[in-house]
A and B are shown apart, each in its own frame.
Chain A
Amino acid sequence: MLFTPGSFVLPPVSKMRKELRRRVIIILAITAIGIYLVFFPHDRRPRLRDLTSWSQIKANIAENIKLGLDLKGGSHLVLWVQTDDAIRTITDNNVLEAEKILKKEGIPFKSVKATGLGQITVEVSDGSRNPDIEEKLRDDFGPGWERTRSDGGAVVFTMKESEMNDIRRTATNQAKTIIENRVNAFGVAEPTIQLHGREQDHQILLQLPGIDDPERVKRTLNAESRLELKEVFGDPHPTKEAAEAARAGDPNKMVIPLKERADAETGQPASTSYIVVAKTPVVSGIDLRGADAVPSQYGGHEYKINFQLKPNGAAKFEQFTSANIGKRLAIVLNDEAKSAPTIQAAISDRGEITGAFTKESAEDLALVLRSGALPAKVVYLEERTVGPSLGADSIRQGVIASIVGLVLVVLCMLIYYRGAGVNATLALIVNLVLLLAGLAMLGAVLTLPGIAGVILTIGMAVDSNVLIFERIREEIRNGKVIVSAVDTGFKRAFLTIIDTHVTTIVSAAFLFVFGTGPIRGFAVTLAIGLIANLFASVYVSRTIFNFILTRSGQRVESLSI
């Protein structure tokens, strides 16, 4: 570097000029790239309009810099996966399996029950067969369970902590995938779906740009979609009590409501009755291959859902229907029977769900069935929506505040530092261009606090210049030669500038870790602005000074500062 600190031997002007030319080229090149990144379209050739039409310029900027939800409009949702549900399901399944196994092996027991989250109790009359019970059940439950009690009254199995965590984690990931499928079906542009918070939080973050009324999406996301086809015992009963009496306490059967739609043709009104069905379904959601919403034959604007089964399920279904002609089959959705037609002939791989479905509810349900059942329910913790009109307002206010701030700061610099003020202004402009270019290049999102970050950068950018200029003034006051005054000014101020930038960037780093969405946008904008400032206030500013100092070709006697 020709201008090494402390060197009072001035190099020949020609060398200074060459160095200067190199610097100017670097600065112009970087600035040009920056301007291109921000103001020009990237996917086509630039046209004259890009320079002359104000609306085209605005459109280009909006294309290149991603806008946050608070500026563009959209919804931000945080969901909490109720992972306990997943554990409960597994526990319940294991209870049923345990009963079957113990019966098959002829091992006597009083009852098998789920007695807590991830806890199964086998009640026995005496502990003589406990080792057998343990052996058989341990094989079935797998290594995730351990026997925690074995005595004359009961054998108790508990799920291990590690197994529980595994299940919770899997449930959350599965839920995330299913939610992704459901959200994508709505055709949202560039949605964000990701795990949120710490691992043990089991939270999912959804950002849906452009959707400022998320009601329909929320309903679909949370919808349960347990479809089951079950064997019906007997005919429908008019009341729950009658159905329960018919069930006669059989643990393998259950009573569910049957809600049938009004039939316009037969004039039958909508009715609710109760049917006794088998607990275990013949075919369930896993066996679904597809589901579609189609207009129903009942005409009008009613819809129904056609579903298709996979080969495995189709085989089971065919076996069942051919063996049970004349009996009823219940089509059960979330433990509520939608219809219970009599089996006329063997059916294999398709069926339909009828009900008072509108096009929208039928499509939503088909979507939910297709995407698979959520392993656990999902609950909303946070919901923030911004409409596009408010977003546009925010942009406008932010831009006005930025321009006013910029004008005020530039005016002050010009008045106080005169010629050097121009220097600072040029450096500031380069700084802002690089800041916006940085955002465009990194694909970082500009949020409303981010615009505040730009305004803050304007104020802090001049900080570096003030530091340098004040030092130069001091050196001149102390009688130093202009060139060495400038030299010393930059040198002495440099380390302090680094210090001040590092502390604020560290703050921004903490903010990035702490915040989501808008706050992160602020942190990123501030950090990029400060880094760009390092380049602008030291390199660019220095180059401009050098330009002034070498212009006349001789020693410069005074400096406009």
Chain B
Amino acid sequence: MIQLFKDTHIDFIGKKKIFIAVSVALMIAGGISVWLRGFNLGVDFAGGTMAYVRFKQVPPLDQIRKALGEQKDASGKQIIETEKVTIQTISGTGNQLLIRLPQIRGSETQEGGIDAGKRAIIAALTTLNDPSQTGKTDLNSRGVADIRDRLIQLDPLGNRDESLYGRIADRIVDYRDKERSGLIDKVSDVPLDVQGLGDSDRQKLRQALEQNFTAGNFNVGSVEIVGPQVGSELQKRAIYVTLAALVGMLIYIAFRFEWIYGVGAVIAVFHDVMITLGIFSMLQKEISLTVIAALLTLVGYSMNDTIVIFDRIRENLKLRRRDDLIVIVNDSINQTLSRTILTSGLTLLSVISLYLFGGEVLNGFALALLIGIIIGSYSSIGIASPIMIWWKRYQEQQIAAQRAAARASKAKAV
């Protein structure tokens, strides 16, 4: 059989100074980054508007910025501060943008409501459409209801058959979303294979479509708008839940092992979460709800390695009472080394697959898990075990001191 880790005898505990040094270095680096640059908080936590937009041809970004700046509200005030807008091209695609607007304080109860930003984006992008087509209804950026109502208003078939127009609108949008990924190329491409349409009807319809509709340049794939109130609420909850999960783990491990095992494990996991957040800050990767979900998953998963090692330590302690603690722990780690590396490696494989192929939305999630699993394995070996040893040593010293004191007083008494 192939065995990668046969009978290793690495002195892990002896190297603990190196481990601690590395951890401290990573934490300091992360800490400095957080202090200087902070986190790149997603709309979930910072509030604001985020839109995924797909284009036939992406307009120059500064044009988009300018068009956004020109959007005004009912009182003529500029809606969007253009410096605070982030426009990002989604990697791997040539034609998708992520447009992000910051939240406007108090915007929930304002005139426009929290979706003022979204409407501003759509209005701005519409101005960048083909100018010869202004005034026509854009099939690519309107919803079914709008298209249907426009058809009813135009009534090209003269029969005021609203359910028929509804079915036509449904077919158009279906074609757009399911067959063309959201962007119709030309109005004439639209299929009109709807029940109840004769050939002459179709002709009239086509004419009406050509004259009154256009296939615009952009399609909004998804929008996330989070009001400021929700944002700060979620921030607090994220912190509470993570702390609660850590406490929950502590209790569970204290219950299954001894409480010092629990403390060691929790410190190790806490360290993992901190370093992962630090790296996110250094890379300025966006922290969204799914990233927090990944971190919480990490809390549970990172315990696994630690538990496996602790399990082995406990088993060996029972079998080899007399051996030195450090030797036992080292042996335990070495014995479980192949298992630790293998499982982390295999989980890592699936997470790497997710990172490379899973798409934009899950990208942050996958990255958090990627970093977390690597750091997690390392911390079970380098952090959790030394803490436990340190404590046990401390305990032994205490017991020895007590014994010495008892003997001394006995001697005195005698």
Interface residues of A (CB under 8 A from B): 70, 73, 78, 80, 211-213, 215-216, 218, 301, 358-360, 379-390, 392-394, 397-398, 400-402, 404-406, 408-409, 412-413, 415-418, 448-449, 451-452, 455-456, 458-460, 462-463, 466-467, 470, 473-474, 492, 495-496, 499-500, 502-508, 510-511, 513-515, 518-519, 522-523, 526, 561
A500 pairs with B308, CB closer than 8 A: yes
Residues from chain A with a CB closer than 8 A to the CB of B350 are: 405-406, 408-409, 455-456, 458-459
A500 pairs with B304, CB closer than 8 A: yes
Nearest Cβ distance between residue A119 and chain B, in whole angstroms? 22
A514 pairs with B115, CB closer than 8 A: no
B303 pairs with A456, CB closer than 8 A: no
B339 pairs with A397, CB closer than 8 A: no
> B143 is contacted by which of A215, A401, A404, A455 (Cβ under 8 Å)?
A215
Q: How far is the CA of A78 from the CA of B343 in the complex (A)?
A: 41
Determine the residue in chain A with the shortest Cβ distance to B357. A401
B346 pairs with A462, CB closer than 8 A: yes
A511 pairs with B346, CB closer than 8 A: no
A387 pairs with B219, CB closer than 8 A: yes
Q: Which of B297-349 contact A (CB under 8 A)?
A: 297, 299-301, 303-304, 307-308, 311, 315, 335-336, 338-339, 342-343, 345-349
> A507 is contacted by which of B229, B289, B300 (Cβ under 8 Å)?
B300
Residues from chain A with a CB closer than 8 A to the CB of B182 are: 387, 389-390
Known contacts A380-B114, A449-B362, then 8 further A-B pairs from the complex at CB < 8 Å, ordered by chain A residue: A213-B146, A359-B152, A394-B361, A409-B349, A418-B1, A456-B369, A459-B350, A522-B297
Residues from chain B with a CB closer than 8 A to the CB of A381 are: 108, 114, 226-227, 229-230
Residues from chain A with a CB closer than 8 A to the CB of B54 are: 389
Nearest Cβ distance between residue A23 and chain B, in whole angstroms? 26
B27-50 vs A, CB cutoff 8 Å, 1 = contact: the mask equals 000000000000000000000000
Does B191 reach chain A (CB closer than 8 Å)?
Answer: no
Q: Which of B130-173 contact A (CB under 8 A)?
A: 142-146, 149, 152-153
A213 pairs with B230, CB closer than 8 A: no
Interface of A is mostly: helix
Q: How far is the CA of A413 from the CA of B230 in the complex (A)?
A: 45
Q: How far is the CA of A382 from the CA of B226 in the complex (A)?
A: 5
Residues from chain A with a CB closer than 8 A to the CB of B146 are: 213
Q: How far is the CA of A405 from the CA of B348 in the complex (A)?
A: 9
Nearest Cβ distance between residue B171 and chain A, in whole angstroms? 14
Q: How far is the CA of A360 from the CA of B147 in the complex (A)?
A: 13
Given contacts A452-B358, A506-B245, contact A380 B113 (CB under 8 A): yes
Does B286 reach chain A (CB closer than 8 Å)?
Answer: no
Residues from chain A with a CB closer than 8 A to the CB of B2 are: 415-416
Interface of B is mostly: helix
Does B354 reach chain A (CB closer than 8 Å)?
Answer: yes
Does B52 reach chain A (CB closer than 8 Å)?
Answer: yes
> B357 is contacted by which of A211, A216, A404 (Cβ under 8 Å)?
A404
B300 pairs with A386, CB closer than 8 A: no
Residues from chain A with a CB closer than 8 A to the CB of B143 are: 211-213, 215
Q: How far is the CA of A257 from the CA of B130 in the complex (A)?
A: 42
Q: How far is the CA of A55 from the CA of B354 in the complex (A)?
A: 25
B204-233 vs A, CB cutoff 8 Å, 1 = contact: the mask equals 000000000000000111111111011000
A393 pairs with B178, CB closer than 8 A: no
Residues from chain A with a CB closer than 8 A to the CB of B178 are: 388-389, 392
B353 pairs with A405, CB closer than 8 A: yes
> B353 is contacted by which of A448, A455, A515, A522 (Cβ under 8 Å)?
A455
B230 pairs with A78, CB closer than 8 A: yes
Nearest Cβ distance between residue B26 and chain A, in whole angstroms? 23
Nearest Cβ distance between residue B53 and chain A, in whole angstroms? 10
Residues from chain A with a CB closer than 8 A to the CB of B142 are: 213
Determine the residue in chain A with the shortest Cβ distance to B369. A456
Residues from chain A with a CB closer than 8 A to the CB of B176 are: 389
B290 pairs with A449, CB closer than 8 A: yes
Q: How far is the CA of A509 from the CA of B173 in the complex (A)?
A: 39
Does B20 reach chain A (CB closer than 8 Å)?
Answer: no
